Chains A and B, each alone.
Chain A
Amino acid sequence: MKKNQIVKVYLFFAILIAALAFMVKFPRLTLPFGFSYILYLMINPVASRILRGNNQQRIIYSLFFTACACLLVVPLVATLYNAETDFKQLLKHIPELRVKLQFKYLQFRELFIDKTGVKLSLDPVTYIMRNVESQGANLLSSIPTLVSAILEWMLLVPLFLYFFFKESKTLKVKFMEFIPNSIFEKTYVLFSQFNTKFGEYIIAKFIEATILGSLVTLGLILVSFPYPFILGIVAGVTNILPYVGPIIGFVPAIAVALLSQNPDVTLLSATLIYLIANAVDMVLVFPLLVSKIVNLHPILVVVSVLAGGQIGGAVGMIVVIPMVAFIQLLFKEIYQDLNAQ
């Protein structure tokens, strides 16, 4: 390789690293930018399908996708509205909940002394409730910051989204011209594969979470279980996390079932509903939607999710899976190249 070609490769990687460093340094800009990019990847396949074809086809596609969006958005808005009512009820019941929890704990402590003769000096209920209260107070104090951040995102996300739709093709061509010849083919193919997989994965997880959340909500409504909407949302959102998500999503239902004095509200009925919803997810939704997009070893998925959570919180846990799939692809390419040499 000639000297100027080597310089080009080094310059390319130096600019890439500088861009990454800039993104880490300015998260207020990077996060809405990244979110807009994810939205762009989700909307783009639908938009290109609508723009394809003649006027009649466009109208039919537009109507079809609007109908799909309504089918998704109307129940979502209704659920959010009902979830707010659920949440207000839950807040009202917190003092009552505290007394009930304290009572249950005292019962357990008595039983523990009877069986083992050891007196428990811990008071976990007070500790948990104090924590909940302090977290609530923290949340209240951070509301102004939260509101300003939301306003900032409301301004930046549509702006970035418009920029992606208008300029992405030109920007892509410019970026491609900048890639040195010696690594062009591989970089371009990997970049395209990452974009496609990432967009598909986010859409698939979104649909999967909606289906599971809806199934749980419907099931809980059918057995007259309290807070069906809020529990459905929690089940749907936590389901985005692979393997551990369904278990975390089930914990609030256990708490509600144990603390309820209504004889109709049983742990068995909640367990059955969560089991059925997760079985439908495992047997039907996951194999059809998600498994074709990323095919990673289960242990690698768990380790990645934990690492992603440590680095980037809930967003990190979601984004890490397509990232790891991409890194796996990258290593596979490098390994194959080394083998070929």
Chain B
Amino acid sequence: MSFEEKMNESGEDEKSKRLNISLLRYMWEASPLYFKESYHTFFRNLSVLKSFSDNDIRIFTTYLHRREFETNEAIFKYGDSGYGFYFIHSGSVSIQEPGGEEIVHLEKSKFFGELALLDEGHRRPATAIATTPTVLLGIFKPDLDKMLESHPVLGAKFVHESAMILANKIGHMTKEIMALRRKLEALEKKN
């Protein structure tokens, strides 16, 4: 699909476009000549948004919320109602069990909380805590609804990417469960 087609698909008519300064800025920031890190370069480097064009990323970033967290500040707690999907722009996050035991440690460019966007009445299955001063870029359920309303193609792409993340996680979990089952069976045989 050509760039023009993508532009038309996401609701932009090339004929009607005047000089769009913000678009030019993002195109400049996306170019190899530009080194300073921006939201655009941040998302350009994320593998989960690989199907997004530059223009898609430009629109996508308008739906994001920047949240700053101090060291040891809770992002969300186990059992909280969840509505947001977060990308780590800088800093690090520890995902913990209710008892405080760490499940996974996430660094810059990682993401978490994607289930909250797709699940109705979602409750957080773990606690997330910032382990250093952290900047997160979050997208929330109302933002996704608005995106699906105003930019349906982009919204569908993002839902698809989120579903792919979940599918990958389920695939990993299935493999782990099978490996554990094999270990259990081996132990049972030994005994």
A130 an interface residue at 8 Å Cβ cutoff? no
A52 to B66, CA, bound (A): 26
B23 on the interface (CB 8 Å rule)?
Answer: no
A182 touches B74 (CB 8 A): yes
Cβ of A68 under 8 Å from chain B? no
Interface check A141, CB cutoff 8 A: no
Closest to B14 in A: A54
User: What separation, in Å, do the CA atoms of A185 and B84 have in the docked complex?
Assistant: 7
Q: A182-B74, A189-B142 are in contact. Are A55 and B15 (CB under 8 A)?
A: yes
Q: Are A55 and B13 in contact (CB under 8 A)?
A: yes
Minimum Cβ distance to chain B for residue A165 (Å): 16
State the CA gap A9–B81 with chains docked (Å): 19
A181's partner among B11, B73, B142 (CB-CB below 8 A) is B73
Is the beta-carbon distance between A54 and B150 smaller than 8 angstroms? no
Q: Of all chain B residues, which has the CB nearest A177?
A: B66
> Which of A54, A177, A182, A188 makes the CB contact (< 8 A) with B11?
A54
Report the minimal beta-carbon distance from B60 to chain A, rounded to whole angstroms. Answer: 16
Chain B: which residue is nearest A336 at the CB level?
A: B81
Cross-interface CB contact of B82 among A1, A55, A182, A185, cutoff 8 Å = A185
Q: Tell whether B75 is near chain A: CB-to-CB under 8 Å.
A: yes
Interface size class of A (residues with CB under 8 A): 20 to 34
Contacts of A340 in B (CB 8 A): 79-81, 123
In the complex, A52 Cα to B83 Cα: how many Å? Answer: 26
Docked Cα-Cα span, A60 to B142, in Å, equals 28
Q: Is A5 an interface residue (CB 8 A)?
A: yes
**Chain B residues, Cβ within 8 Å of A185:** 76, 80-84, 140
Judge if B53 is at the interface, Cβ distance under 8 Å.
no
Give per-residue flags for B52-72: 1 if the beta carbon is below 8 A from chain A beta carbons, else 0.
000000000000011111101
CB distance from B183 to the nearest CB of A (A): 33
Q: Is B8 an interface residue (CB 8 A)?
A: yes
Interface check A96, CB cutoff 8 A: no
- The contact of A341 among B67, B79, B150, by CB within 8 Å, is B79
In the complex, how many angstroms separate the beta carbon of B99 from the nearest chain A beta carbon? 15
Chain A CB within 8 A of B2 CB: no
Of residues 74 through 112 on chain B, the ones whose CB sits less than 8 Å from some CB of chain A are: 74-76, 79-84
Interface pair A189/B8, CB less than 8 Å apart: no
Chain B residues contacting A54 (CB-CB under 8 Å) are: 8, 11-13, 15-16
A181 to B67, CA, bound (A): 7
Assembly CA distance A340 to B123 (angstroms):
8
Q: For the complex, is B141 an interface residue (Cβ under 8 Å from A)?
A: yes
| B interface with A by C-beta (< 8 Å) | 8, 11-13, 15-16, 65-70, 72-76, 79-84, 123, 140-142, 149-150
Chain A interface (Cβ < 8 Å from any Cβ of B): 1-2, 5, 48, 52-56, 173, 176-177, 181-182, 184-186, 188-189, 192-193, 196, 333, 336-337, 340-341
- A-B CB proximity, top 4 nearest: A54-B13, A192-B142, A340-B79, A55-B16
The contact sample of 20 A-B pairs, CB cut-off 8 A, is A1-B74, A48-B150, A54-B13, A55-B13, A55-B16, A173-B65, A181-B68, A181-B73, A185-B80, A185-B140, A186-B83, A188-B65, A189-B140, A189-B141, A189-B142, A193-B142, A333-B81, A340-B80, A340-B123, A341-B79
